[in-house]
Structure 1
């Protein structure tokens, strides 16, 4: 069943939605394709906790559950010692500095697992990812450019992303993230917003500016989007690891609402985080 959003805008029936004999959206229909024959990821999507028909296949990466990237690993994520300590501190503080609560851009995995919807707009030259949460905007360049070397561009909250096709799978590589400084995890001498940098998930698993993220987008059918994410950050983790998220199409004509989040300085005072 396609998820629906709370009615805050008038519904406008979508064109081109495949229908079953009963008139309902046929989410198992083949994935749509663009004019050049590539899978079309365009649409409004929401996180799905249901792994879908291929969720139990052997050899697949574990699903992210409960906002925890390490939920599917027996021994958790392969943290470096400092990163393990920081994650425990963040979790003990119950997400006090989670960027979502600070009205800051979320981490690259957080956007995939957030309960708010996101929209993908796909063109031959780029894929635009718009999240309702904190009105996040991310671009993936599909024009053949290469990733800039680490440190060559100003760090981005969402990283610098380029994509290439591997059959029907879109492989997206990203680097130059705005991450945690392992030598200053408490952001001493910096604005409090720096405490919201480098949150991979809602448990506070950190990443640094050295992270390279590889995502593999695969539209299984009309209604299901499967994304594998490989995190390679030797400063924060002892080895790369891969997790998986599942998204389901919103096919009832719902639209995202405007989400304007402003960091309230009174809130910072009340929580003792205002910096002079």
Structure 2
């Protein structure tokens, strides 16, 4: 086995650790020539289906090595003793990832980077996902759970398995969002076979991942969904937020279409799972 591993390593077939982190990302080479199937009765590409990523961006959108859960310490209000978090072992650990941020690093302002570091250190106390809050955009698209696109000639809706989140995507711009919300307001247009969605009106309480990466309520997200194959789609999101970042930046990744019996969403309405976490301290007789 040692000889086989050594031979594979010499041949460049096995790469791990920092060397793997440095590998350049593969480009979606076929997307320029691929012509997606048309939505019945229209000239529009058919994006219907259940989609999911196969990366670790939900843990951290920047390039990162695998790390133990306790590099993100429990906050003061989490009813989980440190010894119990330690007992999670590999289950609570963070898998490594090449990252999805183009250029590798989010261009924070100095103050915003300091806040990111504080968020990361207090992850269990601050991450909105821990509390089952709606994930916001773009985070909803690369969590560990799938989402489904429902498309017709004149309308489009995106439903997420996580927390039952839903986005109603409009093709007629109604003007500025009347109020900030967790999922914001989505207005779309077609650019060839690419669906381009501009998302505004999100509140400042969502994060990009579990690593504390954050934004302000002044953020605008421009998404681009481009079919690249029968069961693949390229997803890009350009982030503009002058209150948090020194310049606009972009993340990009592949989405994969589920097929067969996997092409459906299950229920993951997680509110009931976090009641004790958030309100257990209000019990007259706290649980032991």
TM normalised by structure 2 equals: 0.67
Structure whose CA Rg is larger: 2
Paired with 1:125 and 1:153, the residues of 2 have a C-alpha distance of 23
Q: 1:266 to 1:74 in 2, by over 3 A?
A: same
Q: In the TM superposition, what is the alpha-carbon distance from 1:82 to its structure 2 partner?
A: 2.4
Question: Does the CA contact (< 8 Å) of 2:58 and 2:139 recur in 1?
Answer: no
Paired with 2:54 and 2:103, the residues of 1 have a C-alpha distance of 22
Aligned equivalent of 2:75: none
The higher relative CO (CA closer than 8 Å, separation ≥ 6) is in: 1
TM normalised by structure 1 equals: 0.69
Aligned equivalent of 2:168: 139
Paired with 1:146 and 1:74, the residues of 2 have a C-alpha distance of 32
What SS is found at the alignment partner of 1:235? coil
Paired with 2:167 and 2:112, the residues of 1 have a C-alpha distance of 26
Question: Does the CA contact (< 8 Å) of 2:136 and 2:202 recur in 1?
Answer: no
More helix by share: 2
Q: 1:96 to 1:77 in 2, by over 3 A?
A: same
Q: In the TM superposition, what is the alpha-carbon distance from 1:220 to its structure 2 partner?
A: 0.9
Aligned equivalent of 2:277: 267
Q: In the TM superposition, what is the alpha-carbon distance from 1:160 to its structure 2 partner?
A: 0.6
Equivalences for residues 1-276 of structure 1 within 5 A: 31-34=36-39, 35-49=41-55, 65=57, 67-71=59-63, 72=101, 76-142=105-171, 145-146=172-173, 148-149=175-176, 152-179=177-204, 197-254=205-262, 255-262=264-271, 264-268=274-278
Paired with 2:51 and 2:234, the residues of 1 have a C-alpha distance of 11
Question: Does the CA contact (< 8 Å) of 1:147 and 1:174 recur in 2?
Answer: no
Paired with 1:67 and 1:73, the residues of 2 have a C-alpha distance of 17
For these two proteins, the number of residue pairs brought into alignment is 209
Q: 1:253 to 1:30 in 2, by over 3 A?
A: farther
What SS is found at the alignment partner of 2:113? helix
What SS is found at the alignment partner of 2:229? coil
What SS is found at the alignment partner of 1:135? coil
Q: 1:269 to 1:158 in 2, by over 3 A?
A: closer
Paired with 1:271 and 1:250, the residues of 2 have a C-alpha distance of 41
Aligned equivalent of 1:10: none
What SS is found at the alignment partner of 1:102? coil
Question: Does the CA contact (< 8 Å) of 2:108 and 2:246 recur in 1?
Answer: yes
Paired with 1:109 and 1:271, the residues of 2 have a C-alpha distance of 33
Question: Does the CA contact (< 8 Å) of 1:227 and 1:245 recur in 2?
Answer: yes
Aligned equivalent of 1:14: none
Q: 1:262 to 1:226 in 2, by over 3 A?
A: same
CA distances 1:20-73 after superposition (whole Å, capped 9, x unpaired): xxxxxxxxx963211211111110111123xxxxxxxxxxxxxx7463233345
State the superposition RMSD in angstroms. Answer: 2.3
CA distances 1:225-253 after superposition (whole Å, capped 9, x unpaired): 11110000101111000110211111112
Gaps of 5+ in 1: 1-28, 50-63, 180-196
